[in-house]
Amino acid sequence: MSVAGATDPAEPSGGRGSALFAGFRALGLYCNHLAHVLRYHRRHREFYLVAAVGRSFHTYNVKKLGIVAVSNALPQNITCLAADRMLVFASCDTLLYAFARNKEVVHTYSGHRTDILFILPFGDHVISVDNDSILIIWDVQSEEEYLQLDFDKTIFAISAVLHPCTYMNKILLGSEQGPLQLWNVKSNKLLYTFPGWGAGVTVLQQAPAVDVIAIGLVTGHIIVHNIKFDETLMKFQQDWGPITAISFRTDGHPVVAAGSPVGHIGLWDLEEKKLLGQMRDAHSTAISGMSFVQGEPLLITNGADNAIRVWIFDGPGGSGRLLRYRMGHSAPPTKIRYHGQNGQHILSASQDGTLQSFSTVHERFNKSLGRGSINKKKSKKKGLRHDTMALPPITMFATEVARQNDWDGIIACHQGYVTCTTWNYQKTSMGIHKLKPEDFSKNKSLGIYATAVDITSCGNFAIIGLSTGHVDKYNMQSGIHRGRYGEEKAHEGSIRGIAVDGLNQFTITIGSEGLIKFWKFKTTTFVHSIDLSTSPSKMLLHRDSGILGIAMDDFGISVLDIETRKIVRKYSGHQGQINDMVSP
């Protein structure tokens, strides 16, 4: 989830900083753990998808999943999202906001004392429910409170809200305790209480048939119930935990789909009253939102794994296949770097184990290079969830475009792993070489891991540093070991950084013992060393100017000229560990 730009101090977050770092746009960020909202635009005759991303929301067209609008930011992260034909409603903390044109706040509703959990547009009104189970009905235009209902959380904690189709002025409330209540909000009367099924309600969803509601429970049961006669029509159960989302097909096929906390989707035939199929691993996290497109065989899902997927049901067996998707990292990035000199592509490694490329021009140029694997064939057979061959997340990588059309142009080292992998940007996949010194056999490499990598500007050689202080040179085309720096090893401590100058004359290494060493690149012979005042944590070389930036463990930064081999600047002021540096 890499982001270009930082917080704009003029935005309502109260963030402080330079106007140079105003937020511009988010890269690789598509949705979060909140359920998406599906809207139909009558004039455009097109469906649009609204998904929350932090303090704002994105609007996508369903045809291509292309982004059409980004809303203005709210003061805090959005906690709930809903929409009607004209407005998008979003809440943060105790306030409810109405957005027009998918962008601008036109109404603000204040009156809740705790965080808002549920929003339900209701004609000329909008309903909001907070953490204390206080329900407020607002007049959309005047922003005035029309009605307030207070519920005792110990008896009836609201967990789902629905307006049953054709039921004028009525809403159905589900509770964590299990019972359901049908209210007339115009007369402020409780019309009926459904005793429930002995388990908390998680989802309420209107069926295509009038009077019929699907109720999802924490036990994994789906109850299809006629609320007019208080009669259960059918029951289904999934074995993957509570129901997180429910949706009905409306294109002539009597099918209901249900989402689970583990990312699987169950499909049931409503005529045969049996399981129709399973879509396992639809997402790597819980299914947050699920919507069948009205009158079409399309199912849209999103999850906390930062992925929006559109599934089409056009094949035999009744199960869906992936039609299109937007997907970013499902865990925080560990390292990001520009790929190439034009600034149009950003390579990003993440704790989810993937290496991805995000385009700064247009999202259609984004691509994923996939996950690292010890054995790709075995990984494909076992699938993502049961893959024992997957490599740990990438912690450091170096990239060079000079020979990327001929062979692999990216070298990466993995968390706690001695072997470094190569990656091919053109083929968008892991490369053919796994680089590891021959004298580190399986038994000898326990507790030893790669800590730093660099690629020469010509793209022919990779330099790898290990936690033992060894530094090795490899050929990127063949993967052959081409030399080792130092008689036994380059440094007494762990290697914290490696850099090769632009003309392949010198290799520069830094070790945790506090030494910077210069080596002849070709012959690997020692040239010069500089003793630092404190242990370095990482370094970065700007090849064009020959300026080397070194981050220290005492949170300072030293700048060294590699021609004169003298420290020319020192900077202090950081109060914590320096995670990364970048050169202009």
Q: What is the pLDDT of residues 360-409, one digit of tens each?
A: 988 888 999 988 888 766 655 555 555 567 899 999 999 999 999 999 99
Q: What is the mean pLDDT of residues 152-164?
A: 96
Please list, in sequence order, all residues whose beta carbon lies within 8 angstroms of the beta carbon of residue 141, skipping any fewer than 6 positions away.
107, 124
Q: How many whole angstroms separate alpha carbon 474 and alpha carbon 465?
A: 11
Rounded Cα distance, 494 and 399, in Å = 22
7: confidence class by pLDDT, cuts 50, 70, 90: very low
The answer to whether residue 19 scores a pLDDT higher than 80 is no
- Output the pLDDT for position 3: 43
| Residues 6+ away with beta carbon under 8 Å from 163 | 120, 122, 170, 171, 172
Of 469, 484, 560, the closest CA to residue 525 belongs to: 484
Average pLDDT (157-173) is 96
What pLDDT does residue 184 have? 95
Kindly state the percentage of the chain with pLDDT values over 70. Answer: 93
pLDDT for 310: 96
Q: Is 503 helix (H, G, I), strand (E, B) or coil?
A: coil
What would the pLDDT profile of 515-542 be if each residue is shown by its tens digit? Answer: 999 999 999 999 999 999 889 999 999 9
The answer to whether residue 317 scores a pLDDT higher than 50 is: yes
**For residue 25, what pLDDT is reported?**
73
At 26, is the pLDDT very low, low, confident or very high (cuts 50, 70, 90)?
Answer: confident
pLDDT at 513 over 50: yes
Which residues, in sequence order, are bridge partners of residue 10? Answer: none
Rounded to whole angstroms, how far apart are CA atoms 253 and 169? 30
Of 202, 212, 195, nearest to 238 (Cα)?
A: 202
Q: Which of 521, 549, 452 is nearest to 491 (CA)?
A: 452
Mean pLDDT of the region 18-29: 76
Q: What number of CA atoms fall less than 13 Å from residue 32's CA on the CB side?
A: 15
Q: At 549, phi and psi to the nearest 5?
A: -100, 130
The alpha carbon torsion through 499, 453, 21, 27 (nearest 10 deg) reads 150
Q: Determine the distance from the C-alpha atom of residue 360 to the mean position of all C-alpha atoms in its chain, rounded to a whole number.
A: 17
Q: What average pLDDT does this structure show over 98-126?
A: 95
Pairing of strands 450-455, 461-466: antiparallel
Q: Is 314 exposed, middle or buried (0-12, 13-18, 19+ CB in 10 A)?
A: exposed
pLDDT-derived band at 8, boundaries 50, 70, 90: very low
- Whether residue 314 contacts residue 287, with contact meaning beta carbons closer than 8 Å, is answered with no
Over residues 158-182, mean pLDDT: 96
Using alpha carbons only, give the angle 161, 164, 166 rounded to the nearest 5 degrees.
Answer: 150
Tell me the per-residue pLDDT of 220-260, one tens digit each, with 9 for 90 and over: 999 999 999 999 999 999 999 999 999 999 998 999 999 99
pLDDT value, residue 6? 35
Kindly state the tokens that stand for 301. 């899902």
At 11, the pLDDT band (50, 70, 90 cuts) reads very low
Residue with tokens 């012979």: 525
| Least confident range of 8-17, 331-340, 447-456 | 8-17
Among 11-20, 403-412, 429-438, 513-522, the least confident range: 11-20
Percentage above 90 pLDDT, the chain? 80
DSSP state of 566: E
For the record, the structure tokens of 440 come out as 């580190």
> What is the C-alpha to C-alpha distance for residues 409 and 426, in angstroms, rounded to an integer?
9
Q: How many Å apart are CA 504 and CA 498, to the nearest integer?
A: 13
pLDDT band at 9 (very low <50, low <70, confident <90, very high): very low
Question: CA nearest 197: which of 211, 179, 213?
Answer: 179
pLDDT of residue 319: 83
Longest dimension (CA), the chain: 89
